A and B are shown apart, each in its own frame.
Chain A
Amino acid sequence: MWRWDESSLVESHFLLLLVFSCFVSVVFAALLRDELREQLRLGVLMFGALVGAALVVGWLMYPFPL
C-alpha cells in the first residue's frame, strides 16, 4: 500500500515538472512548426531544455536556502 513520505513528495514534484514540460513543449511545437518531423524535433528539444534548465537552476539554488 502506498504511504506518504518525503521522498515520494520529491518524486511527485519531479513528475509534475515532467508533465508540465510535456504539455508546454507539445503546444509550442504544434504552434511553431507545420511539418510533423519538425514538430517532433522542436518538441523533444524544448522538453529537454525545460527539464534540464529546471534541474540546473534547482542545483544552482541548492547552496542558497531561503
Chain B
Amino acid sequence: MSERHVHYTVRVSATRAAVDRPTQILVCLAAWAVPGAGHLWLRRPKGVVFLVALPLMFAIGIGLEGRMFPFDLSQPLVALAAAADLGVGIPYFVARGLGLGAGRVVASTYEYGNAFIIVAGLLNLLVVIDAFDVAMGRK
C-alpha cells in the first residue's frame, strides 16, 4: 500500500460522522431554520460564518427596500423567487412578522435588495445540503 493511499484512508475516516437518520433530518431542519446551526450541531466551526453572513445579507436586502415575493403560482418566476426567499429560514418569518419586505419598486436599490434576499436564501439551501453531506459522513 502506497504512502499516498494510507494518507487518503486516514483522512476519510477522520471526517466521517456517526449520525443516524432521524438526526440527519433534524440537522437539515435546523440548518434551514437557523443558517449555520446544522454545521454547529455537527461541531463544524464554519457554521459561525453562515450564522453571521446569511442573516446579515438578508437584513441588508430588506434594508435596501427589496421585496419578499408572495407565492403567486400564476407568475412562475415570482413563485420561484418566493421559494428562494423562504430558503433563509427563521429570518424570513421574523421579517414577515414585522411587516418588512414589502419592497419599493421605485427605489434605486430595489433590484439590489431583491438580489441580496434571494441569494441569501439560495446560499442557505446550499448550506443545508452541505450539512446533510457532513451528517452522512461524506465530508
Contacts and interface: CB of A to CB of B under 8 A. Distances in A.
Nearest to B127: A31
A30 B50 contact: yes
B49 interface: yes
B66 to A, nearest CB: 11
A19 B108 contact: no
Interface string B27-67: 00000000000000000001001100110110010001000
Interface string A1-43: 0000000010011001001100110111011001000000000
A26 B64 contact: no
B115 A27 contact: no
Contacts of A23: 53, 56-57, 116, 119-120
Given A12-B109, A23-B116, 17 more contacts: A9-B108, A13-B108, A13-B112, A20-B112, A20-B116, A20-B119, A23-B53, A23-B56, A23-B57, A23-B119, A23-B120, A27-B49, A27-B127, A30-B46, A31-B46, A31-B126, A31-B130
